[in-house]
Amino acid sequence: MKMYIAVLDEFLDYMTPTLVAHAVLGAHLEFTKAHTDFDRIVDNGPYKHPHYIDWLKNSFKKCVVRVNQKEFNKIAALDNVYLGHENNTLDGRKSCAVVCPMPNEELPNVLKFAKLWKPKE
């Protein structure tokens, strides 16, 4: 399992590390409801994401991909996605989607075929 972090291709390269850092931290707080007792979250938590907890405990793999607006919209419509933004970039529009990790066989094509993020040339 991997965590996919999708960055809108319009977003400024030099601000991308900040965007990703904020979005991943926001996703972590959302997916765990700010708890750190993993067993309690899965067994008794009000917001259960067992795939996220499994990923957190056993994998922690992640990748950042660059997507266009159409792809971003498809990713944003998936279940268990945290949408992040920077207030002073792209007019505060949502521009980073952090997808709760899921088994590879459940991974949608929009993520399977997304290109890894790299700076624009």
* Model pLDDT, residue 13: 96
The whole model's pTM is what? Answer: 0.86
Under DSSP, the state recorded for 117 is P
What is the residue whose two structure tokens read 């991943």? 24
Report phi then psi at 34, rounded to 5.
65, 15
Q: How far apart are CA 42 and CA 65, in angstroms?
A: 28
The more confident residue out of 39 and 106 is 106
Mean pLDDT (the chain, rounded):
88
* Model pLDDT, residue 34: 55
Give the whole-number percent of the chain exceeding pLDDT 70. 87
Q: What is the CATH number of domain 2-116?
A: 3.40.1490.10
Closest CA to 4 of 110, 120, 118: 110
Q: How confident is the model at residue 30 (pLDDT cuts 50, 70, 90)?
A: confident
Q: Which two tokens stand for residue 75?
A: 């990713």
In three-state secondary structure terms, 2 is strand
Q: How confident is the model at residue 32 (pLDDT cuts 50, 70, 90)?
A: confident
pLDDT digits (tens, 9 = 90+) for 52-72: 888 888 889 999 999 999 999
What does the domain layout of the chain look like in residue ranges? 2-116
